[in-house]
Chain A
C-alpha cells in the first residue's frame, strides 16, 4: 500500500465491503442521468481499491471520478453490504488535495475567507454590488463554495441580503419565561448572508419555547463545503474555531441541514488524535437540527405552534434534504410539525427524499447533471398538487427555487422556520400581531 493516502487508508475496511452487486446504480441520482460507471458508488469504490493496491495514482481522472458525487448517501442507504462509500470518497478527496492540492482559487477561499466571517461578509457585500454584472452561464464565482457558486451559473438565486444576520440579531437572546436550555445558534453561511430572516425566525421560536439563544460571533463556516471537497486541514481549523465558539452551550442548533451534518462529521474526518476525536464527538453529540431539537429535545406541544397567516388554507409538501434524512436520520420530526399546524394541509410528494441535485459546489462543477436531477424534483412537486415546498436546508431552497422558476412554476419554497411562530401566551389567538423580533 502506498505510504501516502493517510486518509483513505482509515476507511479501507469500508472499501472492502462492496461486493459489486451494482444495486447502487438504481439509486444514484448522478448515475441515473449519466449512465457512466465512474459516477457510480461501485465504480468509485473499485477505483479506490485500485488506489489502495497501488494500481491507481491520484490522477486528475481519478479526482474527476470521486468529485462527481453529491454525497447524497442514497447508495449508502440502500447498499445491501452497507458500504460507506461516502467515507471513502471524502477521504480520497482529502488525499488528493494533500498530494496534488485543490485548485488555487478554491483553496484561497477555503483557507482565508471562510474562516474570517467579516472578510467573507465584506467580499459578499462587494459581490452583491456587482451582482447585476454577472454573466449568464459559468461565472466568476465558480470557486466560491456552496451557495455562492450558484450565483455564477445563470440561476434564479436569492440576492445577498441587505442586512446580514449578525447585523440584525443580538449575541444574547433571552428565553421567554423560565430558561430550559442554553442553545447556541449555528447560523451557517447561507442563513447568515442570504436568508437572515430564517435565522431570526428560528431564534424567535427557540426563545419562545424557553431557550436562551446565543448567537456567537466567533463561529465560522461549518466546514462542510471545505472538507467534503477534500481540504481537511482547513476543515480542521474551522472545526476547532467552532468548538471554541460554542463552549458553554447545552446544545448547538442549526436550521441548515448541511451544517448539521458537517458539524456531526468532525470526528469522522478531521481529528488528528484520539483526544481530539473525543472532543469532536462530544461536540457532535450536542448538535441538533432545528426540527429534531423542537420535537425530540424540547418536546414542544404542537398546540403552541401557530401557522403564519399567509399559509392559512394552503397545501404544502415536504422535501427531505439528504443532509437531514440520510446524514442525520431526521425525517419524522418536520412531518410532525407540518401535521400539527392548524389551518395547513400537508401532503407527501412522490420521492420526497430524492436528492435535489445541488450538492454544494457540485451544482457549478456539474451544472448540467445538477439541473437534470432537479427536474425530477419539480415533477414530484407538481404531482403532489401542493402550493408550496417546505424544507430545512438553504442549499435545497436555492436549488428548488431555481428549478421551479426554470419550469415557469411560481410556487414558493420556504424554510420550515418561516412557516410558524410560537404562541407566547394562552391569550394569543390566530393571526396575532407582528413578529416579536422585528428587523432592527
Chain B
C-alpha cells in the first residue's frame, strides 16, 4: 500500500518501510505508536505541530546512510531533529514521513587541548559538552540559551547564536569540519581539523545554518577557546528604554567589546522580581547587563570603561556584582526573565529581528509605538550588544480578533527591522515560523539560487521539505 500524503512530492511510510527501518537501526530505535508520533510533532515554538509517520533513532553514521538511501528511493520525507528546542518550526515534520532523531548519537569522540578542537557526534547536548570541556579549561563559545537541550547537530544546522556572540561570533566561526550524509545516502566529510582551509568551496559554511535541508550532520569538529580566567558582571538601569539602546553603541564606540550586553525592559524586570524575588529596581524602564571576560587586567579596564560610558549616557544606577555568586544570580534572573516572557500569555509571538546597533534605539521606539497603536502588550528583551532583539507580543491564538491584531503588529515590526537595515531572523532561523516573510523581504533571485542548490544536494526533495521558502 502506498498512500500519498497531502503534498504531491512525498509518500507516506508503509508498514514494509517500517520493517526495513527496523532492520537498519534495530526495532528499539524505531517508534511509530500514536503517542510516539505525537511527542515528535512539535518543537519549541507555540504554534507548529505536525506528526511524523515514524520516528527513527540512528546510532551510527552508517544507519543514517541506509535510512536516507531507503527514503530517497521511496520518496519519503525525512526531517532531522536534535533536542527539539528550536524556535523556528525547523524540526517539525510538516510533511510527515520520518522524524530522524539524532539524540542517541551522543558521544564526545575526542577533545584535543593541543589543537583547541573537539570531535563530537551530532546528538551531543551542548551543556554536556561544555561540562566535559570545562574540566580541561576549554569552552565552545556559541551559547544559544537552549544549551540544556540543544544538540550540536541542531546548533550547526541553525547557526545558533547567544549572548556571548557579541565578542566571540556565532556558530559558523567555530565549525572546522562536518561529517554529513547527503539525502541520496552517501556520507561525506566537509572541512577538517585545521583552522585554515581554502580547499574548494566552503561547504562547511553552506551546511551551517542550512536548517537540515541539505544533508544530515552526524559528526562535527569544533573549534574551542581557552576558558577566560576572569569575569565581571555590571548592571545599569535607565529611565528610558531607547536610551539604553543608545548606550550600547556608545560602549562599542568607546572601543570596548564585552562578552555580553543583554537588554531587559520594565516588563521583564517586574517579572524577574515576581519569579525570583530579587528586588531589581522596578522604577527602571530598562536594564542593561554586561559581562566582561579575559584576564584580570582586561576585565578591570573594560569594566571601568563600561561604567564610565553608562554614567555619561545618563544611567539611573550602575551596580557591579560583588562576586561570582552575585553575578550568577543576575544571569539566572535574566534566564528567568525569558521564561516569564514565554509563559506570560497563552500565545507569545517572540520575534528574532536583528538591526544595526546604531539604529537600535530608533527601532525600539518604533516597536513600542506599533504595539501601543494596536493596544497590545509587548516586551523587548534581547542580545542588545549584537542588535538581536526579541520583541515578544502577548496574545492568544484562540482569540481570533486579538491574534490577528498581534500578527499584523509582528508584520509591522519585521518590516521596520528590514527598513532599518536589519534582518528578520538573527539566530532562530526561518523554518516555518518566518517563511512567510521570506518572499516579502528577500530578492527572488536569492530564493531561486537556494532552491537550485537544494536540488543539487537533494534531487528528490526528501530532506526537511517545506522549510525556509514557501512552496
Contacts and interface: CB of A to CB of B under 8 A. Distances in A.
A37 B85 contact: no
Given A17-B343, A47-B38, A62-B35, A26 B127 contact: yes
Contacts of A118: none
Contacts of A122: none
Interface string B90-128: 000000000001011010000000000000000101011
Contacts of A22: 44, 83-85, 146, 148-149
Contacts of A43: 39
B308 interface: no
Given A20-B44, A21-B85, A81-B343, A46 B39 contact: yes
Contacts of B83: 22, 25
A40 B149 CA distance: 11
Closest 10 pairs (CB-CB, A-B): A80-B339, A22-B149, A26-B148, A43-B39, A19-B342, A37-B39, A22-B85, A61-B35, A35-B103, A25-B149
B399 interface: no
Contacts of A61: 33-36
B85 A35 contact: no
Interface string B130-165: 000000000000000010110000000000000000
B106 A35 contact: yes
Contacts of B35: 38, 47, 56, 59, 61-62, 64-65
B203 to A, nearest CB: 29
Contacts of B238: none
Contacts of B128: 26
A35 B36 CA distance: 12
Given A26-B148, A46-B39, A46-B42, A80 B338 contact: yes
A244 interface: no
Contacts of A27: 148
A159 interface: no
Given A26-B127, A35-B104, A35-B106, A20 B42 contact: yes
Interface in B185-229: none
Contacts of B338: 80
A82 B38 CA distance: 23
Contacts of A19: 44, 46, 339, 342-343, 348
A37 B40 contact: yes
Contact of B44 (A21, A24, A37): A21
A64 B33 CA distance: 11
Contacts of B127: 26
A36 interface: yes
Nearest to B34: A61
B318 interface: no
Interface in B296-350: 335-336, 338-339, 342-343, 346, 348
Interface in B326-380: 335-336, 338-339, 342-343, 346, 348
B386 interface: no
Contact of B149 (A26, A50, A65): A26
B65 interface: no
Nearest to B33: A61
Contact of A21 (B123, B275, B339): B339
A244 B182 CA distance: 69
A336 to B, nearest CB: 21
B17 interface: no
A80 B148 CA distance: 12
B43 interface: yes
Given A20-B46, A46-B38, A56-B38, A37 B84 contact: yes
B125 A26 contact: yes
22 contacts: A19-B339, A20-B43, A21-B44, A22-B44, A22-B83, A22-B146, A22-B149, A23-B146, A26-B127, A37-B39, A38-B39, A46-B38, A46-B42, A50-B38, A56-B35, A59-B34, A61-B33, A64-B35, A65-B35, A80-B336, A81-B343, A82-B275
A55 to B, nearest CB: 8
Nearest to B275: A82
B31 interface: yes
B351 to A, nearest CB: 16
Given A20-B43, A21-B85, A80-B338, A38 B36 contact: yes
Interface in A25-56: 25-27, 35-38, 40, 43, 46-47, 50, 56
Contacts of A82: 275
Contacts of A24: 149
